[in-house]
Amino acid sequence: MNTFLQVVANGLLLGALFAIVSVGLTLIFGIVKVVNFAHGEFLMVGMYLTYLLTNRLGIHPFATVIAVVPLLFLFGALTQRFLIQPLMAARDDHIQIFATVGLSTALINLALLIFGADIANTPPSGLRMPLQIGPIRVLSGQLAILAASILLVVGLQYFLARTQTGRAIRAVAQNRAAAQLMGIDVNRIYILTFGIGAACVGVAAALIAPLYPTSPNIGTYFVLTAFVVVVLGGLGSIGGAFLGSLVIGLIDSLSGFYVGSDLREVAVFGVFLLILILKPSGLFGGRLNLSHVSP
Protein backbone atom coordinates (compact mmCIF):
# COMPACT_ATOMS: atom_id res chain seq x y z
CA MET A 1 0.00 0.00 0.00
CA ASN A 2 2.83 2.38 0.85
CA THR A 3 4.42 1.69 -2.51
CA PHE A 4 1.17 2.49 -4.33
CA LEU A 5 0.80 5.76 -2.39
CA GLN A 6 4.37 6.71 -3.28
CA VAL A 7 3.74 6.03 -6.98
CA VAL A 8 0.53 8.08 -6.90
CA ALA A 9 2.30 10.93 -5.10
CA ASN A 10 5.09 10.86 -7.67
CA GLY A 11 2.48 11.02 -10.43
CA LEU A 12 0.69 14.01 -8.92
CA LEU A 13 3.95 15.87 -8.38
CA LEU A 14 5.02 15.11 -11.95
CA GLY A 15 1.61 16.30 -13.12
CA ALA A 16 2.10 19.58 -11.27
CA LEU A 17 5.37 20.03 -13.16
CA PHE A 18 3.61 19.39 -16.48
CA ALA A 19 0.85 21.82 -15.47
CA ILE A 20 3.18 24.73 -14.86
CA VAL A 21 4.64 24.24 -18.36
CA SER A 22 1.28 23.66 -20.06
CA VAL A 23 -0.68 26.61 -18.65
CA GLY A 24 1.21 29.16 -20.76
CA LEU A 25 0.78 27.05 -23.89
CA THR A 26 -2.99 26.68 -23.46
CA LEU A 27 -3.36 30.40 -22.67
CA ILE A 28 -1.63 31.36 -25.92
CA PHE A 29 -3.68 28.91 -27.95
CA GLY A 30 -6.95 29.88 -26.28
CA ILE A 31 -6.53 33.58 -27.09
CA VAL A 32 -4.19 33.97 -30.06
CA LYS A 33 -5.27 30.68 -31.70
CA VAL A 34 -1.65 29.87 -32.53
CA VAL A 35 0.04 26.55 -31.70
CA ASN A 36 3.42 27.70 -30.38
CA PHE A 37 5.91 24.98 -31.29
CA ALA A 38 8.68 27.10 -29.77
CA HIS A 39 7.10 26.85 -26.30
CA GLY A 40 9.62 24.24 -25.20
CA GLU A 41 12.46 26.45 -26.37
CA PHE A 42 11.07 29.34 -24.33
CA LEU A 43 11.42 27.00 -21.35
CA MET A 44 14.96 26.17 -22.41
CA VAL A 45 15.88 29.87 -22.63
CA GLY A 46 14.45 30.42 -19.15
CA MET A 47 16.38 27.46 -17.73
CA TYR A 48 19.64 28.77 -19.20
CA LEU A 49 18.92 32.21 -17.75
CA THR A 50 18.33 30.59 -14.36
CA TYR A 51 21.56 28.62 -14.73
CA LEU A 52 23.58 31.74 -15.60
CA LEU A 53 22.13 33.90 -12.82
CA THR A 54 22.59 31.15 -10.23
CA ASN A 55 26.14 30.21 -11.20
CA ARG A 56 27.53 33.64 -12.06
CA LEU A 57 25.83 35.74 -9.39
CA GLY A 58 25.22 33.12 -6.70
CA ILE A 59 21.47 33.81 -6.62
CA HIS A 60 19.07 31.17 -5.32
CA PRO A 61 17.24 29.56 -8.29
CA PHE A 62 13.84 30.71 -7.02
CA ALA A 63 15.08 34.29 -6.72
CA THR A 64 15.91 34.34 -10.43
CA VAL A 65 12.14 34.55 -11.07
CA ILE A 66 12.51 38.31 -10.52
CA ALA A 67 14.63 38.56 -13.69
CA VAL A 68 13.61 35.50 -15.71
CA VAL A 69 9.84 36.15 -15.74
CA PRO A 70 10.06 39.76 -17.06
CA LEU A 71 12.65 38.72 -19.65
CA LEU A 72 10.50 35.84 -20.88
CA PHE A 73 7.45 38.13 -20.94
CA LEU A 74 9.38 40.58 -23.12
CA PHE A 75 10.63 37.77 -25.36
CA GLY A 76 7.11 36.42 -25.81
CA ALA A 77 5.64 39.87 -26.49
CA LEU A 78 8.31 40.62 -29.09
CA THR A 79 7.75 37.22 -30.72
CA GLN A 80 4.04 37.96 -31.11
CA ARG A 81 4.60 41.53 -32.32
CA PHE A 82 7.33 40.94 -34.86
CA LEU A 83 6.98 37.28 -35.88
CA ILE A 84 3.36 36.14 -35.41
CA GLN A 85 1.37 39.35 -35.86
CA PRO A 86 2.67 40.20 -39.36
CA LEU A 87 1.55 36.72 -40.47
CA MET A 88 -1.94 36.86 -38.94
CA ALA A 89 -3.38 38.52 -42.04
CA ALA A 90 -2.27 35.57 -44.18
CA ARG A 91 -5.06 33.35 -45.43
CA ASP A 92 -3.23 30.19 -44.49
CA ASP A 93 -2.98 29.80 -40.69
CA HIS A 94 -0.29 27.15 -41.14
CA ILE A 95 2.23 29.90 -41.91
CA GLN A 96 2.13 30.98 -38.26
CA ILE A 97 2.81 27.40 -37.15
CA PHE A 98 5.77 27.14 -39.54
CA ALA A 99 7.10 30.42 -38.10
CA THR A 100 7.10 29.01 -34.56
CA VAL A 101 8.77 25.81 -35.81
CA GLY A 102 11.47 27.96 -37.41
CA LEU A 103 11.89 29.94 -34.19
CA SER A 104 12.21 26.66 -32.27
CA THR A 105 14.98 25.43 -34.58
CA ALA A 106 16.77 28.77 -34.44
CA LEU A 107 16.73 28.86 -30.61
CA ILE A 108 18.03 25.29 -30.32
CA ASN A 109 20.91 26.01 -32.67
CA LEU A 110 21.66 29.31 -30.98
CA ALA A 111 21.87 27.50 -27.63
CA LEU A 112 24.19 24.91 -29.17
CA LEU A 113 26.37 27.71 -30.54
CA ILE A 114 26.59 29.53 -27.19
CA PHE A 115 26.60 26.70 -24.65
CA GLY A 116 27.54 23.66 -26.74
CA ALA A 117 25.97 20.24 -26.34
CA ASP A 118 27.20 19.77 -22.77
CA ILE A 119 24.67 19.58 -19.95
CA ALA A 120 24.46 22.58 -17.62
CA ASN A 121 23.57 21.85 -13.99
CA THR A 122 21.93 24.53 -11.89
CA PRO A 123 22.89 24.21 -8.18
CA PRO A 124 19.95 22.63 -6.33
CA SER A 125 20.35 24.93 -3.31
CA GLY A 126 18.60 22.45 -1.01
CA LEU A 127 15.72 21.82 -3.42
CA ARG A 128 16.65 18.14 -3.78
CA MET A 129 16.40 17.57 -0.05
CA PRO A 130 14.09 14.60 0.65
CA LEU A 131 11.12 15.15 2.95
CA GLN A 132 9.15 12.41 4.67
CA ILE A 133 5.39 13.00 4.78
CA GLY A 134 3.87 9.93 6.40
CA PRO A 135 4.64 6.98 4.11
CA ILE A 136 5.54 9.28 1.21
CA ARG A 137 8.98 10.65 0.40
CA VAL A 138 9.20 13.77 -1.78
CA LEU A 139 11.74 16.43 -2.68
CA SER A 140 11.35 19.96 -1.36
CA GLY A 141 11.63 21.27 -4.92
CA GLN A 142 8.71 19.07 -6.01
CA LEU A 143 6.49 20.50 -3.28
CA ALA A 144 7.46 24.00 -4.41
CA ILE A 145 6.42 23.15 -7.98
CA LEU A 146 3.07 21.78 -6.75
CA ALA A 147 2.38 24.93 -4.73
CA ALA A 148 3.47 27.19 -7.58
CA SER A 149 1.32 25.39 -10.15
CA ILE A 150 -1.79 25.74 -7.96
CA LEU A 151 -1.09 29.42 -7.28
CA LEU A 152 -0.43 30.06 -10.98
CA VAL A 153 -3.68 28.47 -12.12
CA VAL A 154 -5.74 30.19 -9.42
CA GLY A 155 -4.02 33.50 -10.12
CA LEU A 156 -4.66 33.32 -13.86
CA GLN A 157 -8.30 32.35 -13.33
CA TYR A 158 -8.74 35.30 -10.96
CA PHE A 159 -6.97 37.65 -13.39
CA LEU A 160 -9.22 36.58 -16.27
CA ALA A 161 -12.43 36.75 -14.25
CA ARG A 162 -11.93 39.79 -12.01
CA THR A 163 -9.78 42.35 -13.84
CA GLN A 164 -10.68 44.65 -16.71
CA THR A 165 -7.77 43.41 -18.79
CA GLY A 166 -8.77 39.81 -18.06
CA ARG A 167 -12.32 40.50 -19.23
CA ALA A 168 -10.92 42.05 -22.41
CA ILE A 169 -8.84 38.91 -22.98
CA ARG A 170 -11.93 36.72 -22.50
CA ALA A 171 -13.89 38.90 -24.91
CA VAL A 172 -11.24 38.47 -27.59
CA ALA A 173 -11.20 34.71 -26.97
CA GLN A 174 -14.99 34.57 -27.38
CA ASN A 175 -15.40 36.81 -30.42
CA ARG A 176 -12.59 38.86 -31.91
CA ALA A 177 -14.79 40.93 -34.24
CA ALA A 178 -17.25 41.85 -31.48
CA ALA A 179 -14.36 42.75 -29.17
CA GLN A 180 -12.99 45.15 -31.80
CA LEU A 181 -16.41 46.79 -32.16
CA MET A 182 -16.41 47.36 -28.39
CA GLY A 183 -13.15 49.28 -28.67
CA ILE A 184 -10.74 46.56 -27.49
CA ASP A 185 -7.29 46.70 -29.10
CA VAL A 186 -7.08 43.08 -30.23
CA ASN A 187 -3.46 43.26 -31.35
CA ARG A 188 -2.46 44.64 -27.96
CA ILE A 189 -4.34 41.80 -26.24
CA TYR A 190 -2.53 39.26 -28.43
CA ILE A 191 0.86 40.72 -27.54
CA LEU A 192 -0.03 40.81 -23.84
CA THR A 193 -1.34 37.24 -23.90
CA PHE A 194 1.72 35.87 -25.65
CA GLY A 195 3.88 37.68 -23.13
CA ILE A 196 1.93 36.24 -20.18
CA GLY A 197 2.15 32.75 -21.68
CA ALA A 198 5.92 33.10 -22.02
CA ALA A 199 6.16 34.53 -18.48
CA CYS A 200 4.43 31.40 -17.15
CA VAL A 201 7.22 29.40 -18.78
CA GLY A 202 9.70 31.67 -17.00
CA VAL A 203 8.19 30.63 -13.67
CA ALA A 204 8.42 26.99 -14.74
CA ALA A 205 12.06 27.40 -15.80
CA ALA A 206 13.18 28.77 -12.43
CA LEU A 207 11.43 25.90 -10.62
CA ILE A 208 12.55 23.10 -12.95
CA ALA A 209 16.19 24.12 -13.53
CA PRO A 210 17.44 22.99 -10.06
CA LEU A 211 15.86 19.55 -10.55
CA TYR A 212 16.59 18.83 -14.21
CA PRO A 213 19.81 19.25 -16.22
CA THR A 214 19.66 22.03 -18.81
CA SER A 215 20.50 21.32 -22.45
CA PRO A 216 19.51 22.80 -25.83
CA ASN A 217 16.97 20.00 -26.32
CA ILE A 218 15.43 20.01 -22.82
CA GLY A 219 12.29 21.75 -24.05
CA THR A 220 11.36 18.97 -26.47
CA TYR A 221 10.39 16.49 -23.75
CA PHE A 222 8.29 18.96 -21.83
CA VAL A 223 6.53 20.53 -24.81
CA LEU A 224 5.48 17.18 -26.28
CA THR A 225 3.83 16.28 -22.99
CA ALA A 226 2.37 19.80 -22.79
CA PHE A 227 0.62 19.29 -26.13
CA VAL A 228 -0.91 16.06 -24.80
CA VAL A 229 -2.07 17.94 -21.68
CA VAL A 230 -3.59 20.79 -23.69
CA VAL A 231 -5.57 18.36 -25.86
CA LEU A 232 -6.60 16.24 -22.88
CA GLY A 233 -7.75 19.22 -20.82
CA GLY A 234 -9.56 20.93 -23.68
CA LEU A 235 -7.96 23.43 -26.05
CA GLY A 236 -7.85 26.84 -24.38
CA SER A 237 -8.86 25.60 -20.93
CA ILE A 238 -6.58 26.63 -18.05
CA GLY A 239 -8.39 24.58 -15.43
CA GLY A 240 -8.57 21.68 -17.87
CA ALA A 241 -4.82 21.93 -18.49
CA PHE A 242 -4.17 21.64 -14.76
CA LEU A 243 -6.46 18.62 -14.30
CA GLY A 244 -5.17 17.06 -17.52
CA SER A 245 -1.61 17.46 -16.24
CA LEU A 246 -2.44 15.54 -13.07
CA VAL A 247 -4.04 12.76 -15.14
CA ILE A 248 -1.02 12.52 -17.43
CA GLY A 249 1.34 12.56 -14.45
CA LEU A 250 -0.55 9.67 -12.84
CA ILE A 251 -0.57 7.68 -16.11
CA ASP A 252 3.15 8.27 -16.55
CA SER A 253 4.00 7.25 -12.98
CA LEU A 254 1.68 4.22 -12.72
CA SER A 255 2.58 2.81 -16.15
CA GLY A 256 6.28 3.38 -15.50
CA PHE A 257 6.14 1.44 -12.24
CA TYR A 258 3.66 -1.34 -13.02
CA VAL A 259 4.23 -1.82 -16.77
CA GLY A 260 7.78 -0.68 -17.45
CA SER A 261 9.69 2.58 -17.60
CA ASP A 262 10.31 2.13 -21.33
CA LEU A 263 6.53 2.03 -21.97
CA ARG A 264 5.56 5.21 -20.14
CA GLU A 265 5.46 7.33 -23.27
CA VAL A 266 3.47 4.63 -25.05
CA ALA A 267 0.81 4.86 -22.35
CA VAL A 268 0.76 8.67 -22.37
CA PHE A 269 0.51 9.04 -26.12
CA GLY A 270 -1.92 6.13 -26.29
CA VAL A 271 -4.26 8.15 -24.07
CA PHE A 272 -3.60 11.16 -26.31
CA LEU A 273 -4.74 9.23 -29.40
CA LEU A 274 -7.82 7.89 -27.62
CA ILE A 275 -8.87 11.39 -26.58
CA LEU A 276 -8.43 12.65 -30.15
CA ILE A 277 -10.59 9.82 -31.46
CA LEU A 278 -13.30 9.70 -28.78
CA LYS A 279 -13.51 13.30 -27.57
CA PRO A 280 -11.49 15.75 -29.71
CA SER A 281 -12.66 18.71 -27.61
CA GLY A 282 -10.84 17.25 -24.57
CA LEU A 283 -12.17 15.92 -21.30
CA PHE A 284 -12.99 19.40 -20.03
CA GLY A 285 -13.54 21.24 -23.32
CA GLY A 286 -16.39 23.74 -23.22
CA ARG A 287 -16.70 23.68 -19.42
CA LEU A 288 -13.46 25.30 -18.30
CA ASN A 289 -12.74 27.26 -21.47
CA LEU A 290 -11.23 30.74 -21.25
CA SER A 291 -14.34 32.36 -22.67
CA HIS A 292 -16.51 30.65 -20.01
CA VAL A 293 -14.63 31.73 -16.88
CA SER A 294 -17.16 32.77 -14.24
CA PRO A 295 -17.27 36.56 -13.79
Which CATH number goes with the domain that contains 24? 1.10.3470
Q: What local confidence, expressed as pLDDT, does residue 5 receive?
A: 92
Q: What local confidence, expressed as pLDDT, does residue 288 receive?
A: 45
Angle at CA of residue 18, ends 57 and 163, nearest 5°: 85
Asked if the structure places residue 129 within a domain, the reply is no
Of all residues in the chain, the percent with pLDDT exceeding 90 is 64
Q: Between these two residues, 75 and 238, which has the higher pLDDT value? A: 75
How far, rounded to the nearest angstrom, does the alpha carbon of residue 293 sit from its chain's CA centroid? 20
Q: Between these two residues, 248 and 237, which has the higher pLDDT value? A: 248
The average pLDDT across 71-77 equals 97
Examine the pLDDT at 202 and tell me if it is beyond 60: yes
- How many domains is the chain built from? 1
The parent domain of residue 227 ranges over: 2-123+135-292
Asked if the structure places residue 257 within a domain, the reply is yes
Asked if the structure places residue 169 within a domain, the reply is yes
Q: Between these two residues, 175 and 286, which has the higher pLDDT value? A: 175
Asked if the structure places residue 254 within a domain, the reply is yes
Asked if the structure places residue 208 within a domain, the reply is yes
Examine the pLDDT at 111 and tell me if it is beyond 80: yes
Of all residues in the chain, the percent with pLDDT exceeding 70 is 95
Examine the pLDDT at 1 and tell me if it is beyond 80: no
Classify burial at 165, counting beta carbons within 10 Å of its beta carbon; exposed 0-12, middle 13-18, buried 19 or more.
Answer: middle
Examine the pLDDT at 293 and tell me if it is beyond 70: no
Examine the pLDDT at 285 and tell me if it is beyond 70: no
Asked if the structure places residue 43 within a domain, the reply is yes
